[in-house]
Structure 1
């Protein structure tokens, strides 16, 4: 339907007078009268009752008036919304992360700061394995993902190192090492049974833990694997074994579990990287990266 006709009709209804509506529309009265007549012909309904000193809107006219207000308001908002989306101020940002990264407090703090700058942007989060997340970046399903390793070379992806999270020991509260008040030597864990986060679900973290054990001089005796990092805590609390976990897990669960600092010749850490496409002209991602370059500020907001 013609927006000009709707604007003219709204003016007539609100002015209750065709002459005043014509002045408001900056047009002559006869053309405005024809517009109203054309609307009535197109809709097959009487929209206005002609009175000696003006007009009165009919029930059909009231319905058209309400619809016209909605349509005109929406039409008026379209240019601004298109501009906002083009400028990255509206729309959606797709963020992926592995299970272990999702437990770190930097992520909600980062999203909170991002939200302050882009309040109208919808944040879609996806948790998955690292290989699937890499594919999601390549296929443009996600805009940025957070992993425990950098992106493979040659895929057209950038990797930004965000932080190194210490690895610690999680053990049942009745474990022989639970009463030790000093940091645990990594090699000192060799005699004990391990529970680990399944490699298929957390390849990067699994490989990182095994690499730390190998560098310390032993291969861990893995008696059971858990489908998720958090579910491994149930097995640890049940006394099935101990595990090496990212430090952030300490704040997630401490019932029947004791956490100990690890010591080794090579620091036991689990890094976190942001992975995104090269040459990405996206103001939202650029803002996220700017925040990540100031990770100290994010840490401060956590505290």
Structure 2
């Protein structure tokens, strides 16, 4: 392995075209510098410099080494700063997972924007998936943090941070009998009607949350169709297939074919969002995200 000090000395000699001037620039005596260059030539088994009466001239092999040395020295010079940046969480990668319904809430793009503004050199990897897969991704350290509609299961070494509570609202086809109602719709008034829901396999937490709200009100919803994604369910609602209970952030979607109404219940109908991460995961960039959430 080539000594980086020898490479640096060689670069200075080439740039000065004179060993005496290079020695002054390097703050060393000429004989040690001459020996250092000779040692480098012996090591590489190549003549790097032609000795002239008033200086030196770089050979073709020397020119090749000079270009390589510049790259190596520049990289070596940048290493301490990069290591410091990594240690401080100013560089590296942040892997963030979220469910489909969380991805539709404005808090997530706002969080990502704030993080990008504060830590512009950190690359962000995003993954949308079901809650079970996202939990596994945290356990296996594939993701650093995930955002779900329920806290993490107990006993897996995970921590859950409550981020916010999002109200649930009613989404109705614009020709639905309840669409003309001016006041908030009581959840029990939905009992006679057909429901369209976001498929449990894809959105387990939200699905369970909606069913729990209906059960607490005293009825089991009549689910006539499930959709693979929350936004897909809106297409079915707009087509008149049924109504649904959805997070409030959905209100801006399909607002011509769908009527959105405030939902009233004896027990508040909410869809919380939790940040879930590994309890003992020492990760400075994760700390930066958590600070932005507090």
TM over 0.5: yes
Contact 2:87 2:284 in 1 (8 A): no
CA distance in 2, matches of 1:152, 1:41: 64
Give 1:82's aligned residue: 83
Structure 1 residues 52 and 252: CA distance shift in structure 2, 3 A: farther
- 1:65 pairs with 2:39: no
Give 1:161's aligned residue: 162
Contact 2:171 2:246 in 1 (8 A): yes
Give 1:23's aligned residue: 24
Superposition deviation, residue 288 in structure 1: 2.0
Give 2:53's aligned residue: 52
Superposition deviation, residue 118 in structure 1: 2.0
Superposition deviation, residue 94 in structure 1: 1.7
Alignment of 1:1-303 (within 5 A): 1-293=2-294
CA distance in 2, matches of 1:171, 1:108: 27
Superposition deviation, residue 272 in structure 1: 0.7
Superposition deviation, residue 255 in structure 1: 4.2
CA distance in 2, matches of 1:110, 1:48: 57
Instruction: Note the aligned Cα RMSD (angstroms).
Output: 1.8
Superposition deviation, residue 44 in structure 1: 4.3
Alignment partner of 1:182: what SS?
coil
Alignment partner of 1:112: what SS?
helix
Alignment partner of 1:71: what SS?
helix
Alignment partner of 1:124: what SS?
strand
Unmatched tracts of structure 2, length 5 or more: none
Alignment partner of 2:177: what SS?
coil
Give 1:298's aligned residue: none
Alignment partner of 2:143: what SS?
coil
After superposition, the C-alpha distances for 1:175-219 in whole angstroms (9 at most, x for unaligned) are: 222232221121111222111100011111001111111112221
CA distance in 1, matches of 2:222, 2:105: 27
Structure 1 residues 72 and 180: CA distance shift in structure 2, 3 A: same
After superposition, the C-alpha distances for 1:25-49 in whole angstroms (9 at most, x for unaligned) are: 2222233223333333444444333
Name the TM-score, length of structure 1 as normaliser. 0.90
CA distance in 1, matches of 2:262, 2:282: 42
Superposition deviation, residue 119 in structure 1: 2.0
> Which stretch of the first structure deviates more once superposed, 131-140 or 4-13?
131-140
CA distance in 2, matches of 1:123, 1:253: 30
Contact 2:238 2:254 in 1 (8 A): no
Name the TM-score, length of structure 2 as normaliser. 0.93
CA distance in 2, matches of 1:242, 1:57: 80
CA distance in 2, matches of 1:292, 1:75: 37
CA distance in 1, matches of 2:98, 2:273: 10
